[in-house]
Structure formats: C-alpha cells, structure tokens
Amino acid sequence: MTNNDVEFLDEYKRLDAVCSDMFSCRNGVSQYIKEMENQSCRGKYEILSWDDDYKLLKHLRLVRNKIVHESFDYEVCKSSDIVAVVNFYERIISEGDPLSLLRKTETERDDTRSKYKTVLNASLDCNFRRPLRKKRKSFVIVVIILAIIIAVVYSFVS
C-alpha cells in the first residue's frame, strides 16, 4: 500500500463516518448509494450532477474495497480519487450533496404548494362563489331535461 492509498483510506473513513451518522448505520457510503438508488427517479430529473455523483461514489467504494480486500504492490488510487473523496465530504458538510439538494428542492416545492393553497383557499372564500352557483344551476337543468326525456319515452311506451 502506498502513501496515496493510505491517505485515500483516511479520507474515505471520514466520508464513511459522516454518511454513517446521517443514516445511523455502519456502512455509510454504501447506504448513501442505496438511498440514491431509491431516490433516482426524482433525483435524476431534479439534480444535474445526480448520475455523475452516483458513479463517483460507486467508483470510490470500489477503490476502497480494492485497497482493503486485495493486496497490491502498486498504487491503487490516483490523487484525483483523494481529491474526489475530500470534495464529496465537504459537499455533504455544506449540504451541497445530491441527497441534500433533492431534499431542499422538495421542501421548496412543498412550501410553494402550501402558499398557493393558502392563497387559493382565501380566493375561493371571497371571489369564487358564483361559479359554484352556476354549477348547481347547470346540474338542476340537466336533471330537469333528463326528467322530461324520461317522461316522453315513458308516454310512448305506455
């Protein structure tokens, strides 16, 4: 194992620890990946970097597993892998990671919907009573027409 591999493992452990705290589990990065898979239908469309981040985490976990489970006489990780682990850790801390961004967009959407519903309900209380009366009148007219049609058909049958 080279110095880069050791440094990578240290940074990966730090990332894994913060993910473990987020999900209250042992294998935090693996759980983060599973959560991304569970949320992928929404995440792919809401978060531009979703697929790239997913592939990155899978790659980083693969590098970690190679270092830990296989013995190599050469360097397994690249310096870019170390930078990627550190950057992803910092994004989680600053809530700029994919799952945090998805949660923020959902919260903003829910807030917008609740504000719209409040405004709409207030408008309904004040301004939109007439259309309800028109609907009732239309319903009554339809019922009367149906009654006339039934009466005419009944008079022909008997």
Rounded distance between C-alpha atoms, residue 153 and residue 155, angstroms: 5
Interhelix angle for 50-69 vs 3-23, to 10°? 120
Under 8 Å CB-to-CB from 61, ≥6 apart: which residues? 29, 30, 33
Contacts of 51 (CB under 8 A, 6+ apart): 44
pTM here is 0.70
Q: What tokens were used for 13? A: 């452990």
HSE of 80, CA atoms in CB hemisphere, 13 A: 2
What six digits make up the tokens of 50? 């979703």
Residue 117: predicted pLDDT: 67
**In tens digits, what is the pLDDT along the chain, a chain of 158 residues?**
789 999 999 999 999 999 999 999 999 999 999 999 999 999 999 999 999 999 999 999 999 999 999 876 778 899 999 999 999 999 999 999 999 999 999 888 877 777 666 655 655 555 545 555 556 777 888 889 999 999 888 888 86
Cβ atoms within 10 Å, residue 117: 10
Show Cβ contacts of residue 36 under 8 Å, excluding neighbours closer than 6 positions: 43, 50, 53, 54, 57, 98, 99
Per-residue pLDDT tens for 7-27? 999 999 999 999 999 999 999
* Closest to 60 in 3D by CA, of 118, 127, 14: 14
Instruction: Compute the C-alpha angle 35/67/16, nearest 5°.
Output: 30
Residue 141: predicted pLDDT: 86
Q: Which two tokens stand for residue 66?
A: 């190679």
Q: Between vectors from CA 93 to CA 92 and to CA 97, what angle results, nearest 5°?
A: 20
